[in-house]
């Protein structure tokens, strides 16, 4: 045991005379734990740096953390402190700058001042973390160690419970706390795992409620899949749903997200109040809507900047305005400039049909530098969308190849369609998460709720799984109907890329097929691309 190797920063702070005094004292030391006491003794009789004792405790903590590594428990049933973590109270600031592995800017001085330092191994990592503890880190530890309910902590701090939940989530993400694994998890026995499909595709750290709070819309698109007449969401029911979603996410140890949609969600009379209520509950907020005036968007940003704002374009100006209404294309392009100015992440979605397939790549070029993300969904021939023509099946794989080639040179082009993974598989390229990060995520890491409370596995086709006015989200999620949609089609049950694919059940439904037994009619996995043309 060489103390110079355990306490290198301490030794480097001393001159030759001080080192001699130190070496005289440490000849009798049998354990590193005695070293800080020796330093304290020498500080009382000699002109040793006044911060040296605290530095010795810091380096001892690093040593002990490495030598006495505590493995994480195999099963965790509640949020707890990371068992490797050590919390040190220091009377000096900037001690971390003295450690030999740190490369702090020149001129940083060690000065008096109380602070706390955290030393720990994050879960699944062999990299020892050394960091100053923030006020939020300390609060997270206090809540967990003293078993304080988030509601009580929020009331005492004069903040919303969402703020407390976010503090806890951040501490888990940093590895300061550990928590149970996500309860949103695929059954590995029901989902085959092919090569290059990692564990991350079998569980989700997020659950999204795609919330259609109103059917009212300022557009009448030719491919709209639902123009049914439903009363707008009662505001009191909306607040209850947000509370229920928060509880569901807590129970399943996931981060909740609300994607507000419609119709046009901004036309809901209580939109801002509902949006604020979601933010106050610590839920991620996003908007799937239409262009809106700056005044409205600024009010939204003042509450909380949305995770993203999604708008739609259906091709170049003439075709887009034929589908969505005259002047819509220009309004969207101007709106994208506003989103960019306000720093809001923008997404542009296109519904792919036979008539706009050749306009996708030119549109992508127009959106370069103007939108953060551009992608597409295939037409679901449902509702008014049944009046449009779906893409020719024998042309689709070639279209995907062209799209992927263009995407390599256009940073705004993103991949969403699950069938793109077939192309990646054919070229021995890494697979991606597909439509919802886990292939088809219908009733898995998301479901849709309509203004009257109906819950659907996917909004793009009738897939009723319950009603949130009558059942809890947990009851719906764990019900037989949701489980059936979650399992997907039996035709995909043995496919090696099933965890990141599963086709599109809305497309299957639009072709008049059975979503529980039939394969996506565009699937070209393990067969030539020329699978025949669509009859529609």
Q: How far is CA 366 from the centre of its chain?
A: 28
Q: Which of the four pLDDT bands, split at 50, 70 and 90, describes residue 532?
A: very low
pLDDT in tens, 358-405: 999 999 999 999 999 999 999 999 988 888 999 999 999 999 999 999
Distance of alpha carbon 119 from alpha carbon 89, whole angstroms: 12
The answer to whether the beta carbons of residues 394 and 529 sit under 8 Å apart is yes
Query: 117 by DSSP, 3-state: which?
Result: strand
- Position 106 scores a pLDDT of 58
- Answer yes or no: is pLDDT of 248 > 90: yes
**Residue 132: CB atoms within 10 Å:** 14
Distance of alpha carbon 166 from alpha carbon 136, whole angstroms: 10
Distance of alpha carbon 185 from alpha carbon 253, whole angstroms: 11
Q: Which of the four pLDDT bands, split at 50, 70 and 90, describes residue 318?
A: very high
Phi, psi values for residue 507, rounded to 5°:
-65, -45
DSSP 8-state class, residue 311: E
Instruction: Please name which of 209, 265, 214 lies closest in space to residue 242, comparing C-alpha atoms.
Output: 209
Arithmetic mean of pLDDT, 124-146: 95
- CB-based burial of residue 394 (10 Å sphere; 0-12 exposed, 13-18 middle, 19+ buried)? middle
Phi, psi values for residue 378, rounded to 5°:
-70, 150
Arithmetic mean of pLDDT, 437-461: 96
Distance of alpha carbon 171 from alpha carbon 173, whole angstroms: 5
- Answer yes or no: is pLDDT of 50 > 50: yes
Identify the helix (H) or strand (E) that includes residue 16. Answer: helix 16-26
Quick one: what percent of the chain has pLDDT higher than 90?
A: 75
Distance of alpha carbon 184 from alpha carbon 205, whole angstroms: 7
Q: How far is CA 262 from the centre of its chain?
A: 22
- Answer yes or no: is pLDDT of 530 > 80: no
Q: pTM, whole model, 2 decimals?
A: 0.84
Least confident range from 65-79, 120-134, 517-531: namely: 517-531
Arithmetic mean of pLDDT, 170-189: 91
pLDDT in tens, 341-366: 999 999 999 999 999 999 999 999 99
Alpha helices in 353-412 (DSSP H): 360-367, 393-407
- Answer yes or no: is pLDDT of 179 > 70: yes
Least confident range from 79-88, 100-109, 115-124, 193-202: namely: 100-109
Half-sphere exposure of 460 (CA within 13 A, CB side): 21
pLDDT in tens, 471-514: 999 999 999 999 999 999 999 998 989 999 999 999 999 999 99
- Answer yes or no: is pLDDT of 267 > 70: yes
- Position 533 scores a pLDDT of 45
Distance of alpha carbon 383 from alpha carbon 281, whole angstroms: 35
Q: Which of the four pLDDT bands, split at 50, 70 and 90, describes residue 102?
A: low
The answer to whether the beta carbons of residues 3 and 39 sit under 8 Å apart is no
CA distances from 378 to 424, 464, 519 (A): 19, 21, 15
Helices 161-174 and 271-280: angle between axes, nearest 10 degrees:
50
The answer to whether the beta carbons of residues 445 and 284 sit under 8 Å apart is no
Cis bond upstream, residue 263 (ω within 30) = yes
Task: Report long-range pairs for 32-38 (Cβ below 8 Å, ≥24 apart).
Answer: 32/1, 32/3, 32/6, 32/7, 32/60, 32/63, 32/64, 33/60, 35/3, 35/6, 35/7, 35/10, 35/60, 36/60
- Answer yes or no: is pLDDT of 105 > 80: no
């Amino acid at each position: 045991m060489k103390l110079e190797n355990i306490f290198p920063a301490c030794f480097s702070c001393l001159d030759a005379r001080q080192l001699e005094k130190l070496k005289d004292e440490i000849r009798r030391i049998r354990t590193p734990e005695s070293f800080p006491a020796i330093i304290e003794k020498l500080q009382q009789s000699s002109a040793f740096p006044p911060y040296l004792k605290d530095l010795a405790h810091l380096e001892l903590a690093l040593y002990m953390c490495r030598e006495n590594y505590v493995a994480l428990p195999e099963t965790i049933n509640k949020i707890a402190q990371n068992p490797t973590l050590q919390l040190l109270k220091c009377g000096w600031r900037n001690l971390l700058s003295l450690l030999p592995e740190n490369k702090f800017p020149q001129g940083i001085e060690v000065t008096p001042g109380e602070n706390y330092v955290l030393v720990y191994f994050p879960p699944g990592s062999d990299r020892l973390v050394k960091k100053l503890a923030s006020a939020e880190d300390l609060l997270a530890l206090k809540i967990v160690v003293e078993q304080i309910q988030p509601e009580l902590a929020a009331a005492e701090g004069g903040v919303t419970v969402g703020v407390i939940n976010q503090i806890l989530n951040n501490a888990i993400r940093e590895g300061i706390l550990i928590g149970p694994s996500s309860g949103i998890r695929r059954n590995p026995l029901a989902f085959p795992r092919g090569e290059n499909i990692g564990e991350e595709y079998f569980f989700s750290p997020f659950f999204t409620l795609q919330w259609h709070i109103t059917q009212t819309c300022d557009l009448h698109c030719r491919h709209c899949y639902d123009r049914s007449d439903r009363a707008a969401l009662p505001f009191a029911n909306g607040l209850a749903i947000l509370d229920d979603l928060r509880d569901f996410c807590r129970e399943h140890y996931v981060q909740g997200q609300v994607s507000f949609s419609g119709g046009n969600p901004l036309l809901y009379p209580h939109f801002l109040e509902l949006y604020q209520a979601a933010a106050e509950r610590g839920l991620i907020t996003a908007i799937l809507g239409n262009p809106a005036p700056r005044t409205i968007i600024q009010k939204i940003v003042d509450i909380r900047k949305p995770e993203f704002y999604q708008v739609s374009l259906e091709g170049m100006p003439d075709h887009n305005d034929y589908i969505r209404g005259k002047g819509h294309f220009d309004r969207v392009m101007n709106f994208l400039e506003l989103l960019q100015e306000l720093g809001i992440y923008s997404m542009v979605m296109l519904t792919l049909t036979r008539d706009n397939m050749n306009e996708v790549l030119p549109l992508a070029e127009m959106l370069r530098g103007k939108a953060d993300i551009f992608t597409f969904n295939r037409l679901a021939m449902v509702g008014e969308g049944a009046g449009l023509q779906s893409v020719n099946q024998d042309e689709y794989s070639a279209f995907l190849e062209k799209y992927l080639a263009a995407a390599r040179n256009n940073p705004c082009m993103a991949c969403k369609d699950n069938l793109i993974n077939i192309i990646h598989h054919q070229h021995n390229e890494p697979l991606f998460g597909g439509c919802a990060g886990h292939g088809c995520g219908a009733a898995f890491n998301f479901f849709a709720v309509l203004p009257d409370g109906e819950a659907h596995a996917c909004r793009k086709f009738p897939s009723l799984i319950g009603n949130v006015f009558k059942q809890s989200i947990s009851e719906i999620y764990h019900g037989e109907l949701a489980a059936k949609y979650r399992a997907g089609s039996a035709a995909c049950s043995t496919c090696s890329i099933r965890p990141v694919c599963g086709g599109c059940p809305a497309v299957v439904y639009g072709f008049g097929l059975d979503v529980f037994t039939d394969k996506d009619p565009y699937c070209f996995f393990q067969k030539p691309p020329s699978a025949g043309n669509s009859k529609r």
